Amino acid sequence: MFRNKKIILIALCLPMMFSCGKHAKLLKSTDNELKYQAAMSYYEKKDYNRALELFDMLQSAYRGKPQGEEIAFLTAECYFQLGDYSIASHYYKRYASTYPFGRRTEDALYKSAYCYYLESPNISLDQTDTHNAIREFQQFIDAYPSSDYVDDANSRIDTLRLKLEEKDFNKAMLYYKMDEYQAAITTFEAFLADYPATLHREEILVYMVMTYYHYAEKSVADKQRERYELALEKYNTLSYIFPDSEKLKELVPVVEKMRARLARMENNNK
């Protein structure tokens, strides 16, 4: 029985051993055309690692020739298929730089941006790749405004911007929850300036009313009037933009308290 298993194992390994031996001979061969045909065959069979080995060896041999352009693009494609997106992006851009009028340049520039999109991390992490993806998608749209990829690029930009928006919103809320009122106010104001169409506008205006209120409560007397007035100003803005907001009723007790305190301050100054 052990002998039979050994025979089966050998039978299974022989094709692999033959394949490895054949590939090793290819790597040592000086026949570039044979290597090129083998690399293309590996690529078609989705054996991207072996294809890459041969493409790497052939780049200088075919530079300036039609095969060289194909090798340059498929090198990027191999890295993309292997999930090495940062390296793939480098090679897509390298292809576009080397062949600015190449037949795959449009594809390469789009996929370079798409690589950054795939590398864009969770909102809690650094968003450098998110910013890079937005920039490259926009550059692509500017360069190819009639491309079939434009709608997709715009959609992905929207997705990435929403991610940045949520990250900035969470940052502002963190300041609020930590009672860092000055930082929260600054961040809320910046957020509304950066994202004028945000769906968080109503929510932020509510938190700005509360932030200014709490800030006034903990301020020295000389600063309280100004901060109560700013809180009421945000409340009025909320009322104007969202007249049917359910949050308006929730804020009534706080608003009445601030108006009463401002009235007392006014009486004391008489």
Domain of 243: which CATH number? 1.25.40.10
- The answer to the question of residue 251 being in a domain is yes
CB atoms within 10 A of CB 214: 17
On whether the CB atoms of residues 209 and 249 are closer than 8 A, the answer is: no
- The answer to the question of residue 155 being in a domain is no
pLDDT band at residue 261 under the 50/70/90 scheme: very high
CA 58 to chain centre: 34
**CA–CA dist 14, 18 (Å, integer):** 6
Return all residues near 257 (Cβ < 8 A) that are at least 6 apart.
Answer: none
CA trace torsion 37, 38, 41, 47 (10° rounding) = -150
- The answer to the question of residue 246 being in a domain is yes
Mean pLDDT of 258-262: 94
What is the pLDDT of the chain when averaged over all its residues?
90
- The answer to the question of residue 79 being in a domain is no
- The answer to the question of residue 235 being in a domain is yes
Report pLDDT digits (tens) over 178-200. Answer: 999 999 999 999 999 999 999 99
Q: Token pair for residue 270?
A: 């008489």
pLDDT band at residue 1 under the 50/70/90 scheme: low
pLDDT above 80 for 17: no
Instruction: Look at the chain and report how many structural domains it folds into.
Output: 1
Report pLDDT digits (tens) over 101-150. Answer: 999 999 999 999 999 999 999 998 999 999 999 999 999 999 999 999 99
- The answer to the question of residue 69 being in a domain is no
Burial 84-117 (b: 16+ CB within 10 A, else e): bbebbbebbbbbbebbeebebbbbbbbbbbbbbb
- The answer to the question of residue 266 being in a domain is yes
**Which residues span the domain enclosing 192?**
178-270
Return all residues near 242 (Cβ < 8 A) that are at least 6 apart.
Answer: 202, 205, 248
Is residue 136 exposed (0-12), middle (13-18) or buried (19+ Cβ within 10 Å)? buried
Q: What is the pTM of this model?
A: 0.81
- The answer to the question of residue 254 being in a domain is yes
Report pLDDT digits (tens) over 49-64. Answer: 999 999 999 988 898 8
pLDDT for 221 = 87
